[in-house]
């Protein structure tokens, strides 16, 4: 028995939240936006991906990850047999584009984070992937940077969280960044396929109140897994 609302109820609550966000003026980012980029995908997804914030293309289209970073994200998803419209939901830490693509400020993140929290509660994914420093630090409540955080699955409020680089870092950086992202997505594939399970799965009908102070490392990729995509 669970108190979780049905998938239809969750989809409709998610839509109500998106409607609320569409007219949000809680912070100054609202003044410069073309569209609120609330999120996209399957409200019943096993995998929820959390980026940083919309860029120019996302602001114009009102959809997350539709530029070059999004193409790379789709490629990485495809390599583990996932597609953004099917069992995947994509959102961001802030829902409106920071001017000139600057980093979101802490006050903007704090103002916006209740939307993300509600998205996580309603979608209730098996695994959350955080892309880059902003989402990883926010959800894992840490000041540790992504280079140190990545490479592991963490147990996070009765589910897994896999932090990895932002695709923009792979586009800018070395082939190694991309290989490391592939290795991290290998962990995601393991969770989605049920090859990696929590010792004591927790029925999560409630929103994560706050992430735990110290994330618990539950899985690291096996060495042979690193070669999977070579
Ligand atoms: N980068 C992000 O973090 N989010 C997007 O939606 C697009 C690019």
> Does position 211 have pLDDT exceeding 90, yes or no?
no
> Does position 13 have pLDDT exceeding 80, yes or no?
yes
Residue to mutate (ligand 1; options 39, 52, 134; most atoms within 8 A of CB)? 52
The ligand 1 atom at the shortest distance from the C-alpha of residue 167 is: 1
d(CA 162, CA 131): 9
d(CA 103, CA 80): 30
Between the CA of 52 and the centroid of ligand 1 the distance, in Å, is 6
Residues with C-beta less than 6 Å from any ligand 1 atom: 37, 51-55, 58, 64-65, 69, 92
d(CA 93, CA 71): 19
The ligand 1 atom at the shortest distance from the C-alpha of residue 57 is: 7
Highest-pLDDT range among 75-84, 191-200, 205-214? 75-84
At residue 217 the predicted structure's pLDDT band, cuts being 50, 70 and 90, is low
Q: Which fold has domain 7-198+207-226?
A: Uracil-DNA Glycosylase, subunit E (3.40.470)
pTM: 0.88
Q: Sign (positive/negative) of CA torsion 203, 50, 131, 47?
A: positive
The ligand 1 atom at the shortest distance from the C-alpha of residue 52 is: 3
Between the CA of 113 and the centroid of ligand 1 the distance, in Å, is 16
């Amino acid at each position: 028995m669970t108190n979780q609302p049905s998938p239809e109820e969750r989809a409709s609550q998610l839509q109500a939240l998106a409607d609320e966000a569409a007219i949000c003026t809680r912070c100054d980012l609202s003044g410069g936006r073309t569209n609120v980029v609330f999120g996209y995908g399957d409200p019943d997804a096993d995998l929820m991906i959390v980026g940083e914030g919309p860029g120019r293309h996302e602001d114009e289209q009102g959809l997350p990850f539709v530029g070059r970073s999004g193409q790379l994200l789709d490629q990485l998803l495809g390599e583990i047999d996932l597609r953004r419209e099917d069992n995947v939901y994509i959102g961001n830490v802030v829902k409106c584009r920071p001017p000139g693509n600057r980093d979101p400020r802490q006050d903007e993140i704090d103002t916006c984070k209740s939307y993300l929290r509600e998205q996580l509660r309603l979608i209730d994914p098996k695994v959350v992937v955080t892309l880059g420093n902003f989402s990883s630090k926010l959800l894992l409540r840490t000041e540790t940077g992504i280079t140190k955080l990545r490479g592991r699955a963490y147990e996070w409020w009765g589910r897994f969280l896999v932090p990895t680089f932002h695709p923009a870092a792979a586009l800018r950086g070395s082939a190694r960044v991309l290989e490391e992202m592939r290795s991290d997505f290998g962990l995601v594939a393991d969770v989605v396929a049920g090859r990696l399970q929590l010792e004591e799965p927790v029925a999560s009908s409630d929103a994560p109140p706050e992430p735990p102070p110290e994330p618990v490392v539950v899985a690291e990729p096996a060495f042979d897994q690193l070669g999977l995509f070579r």
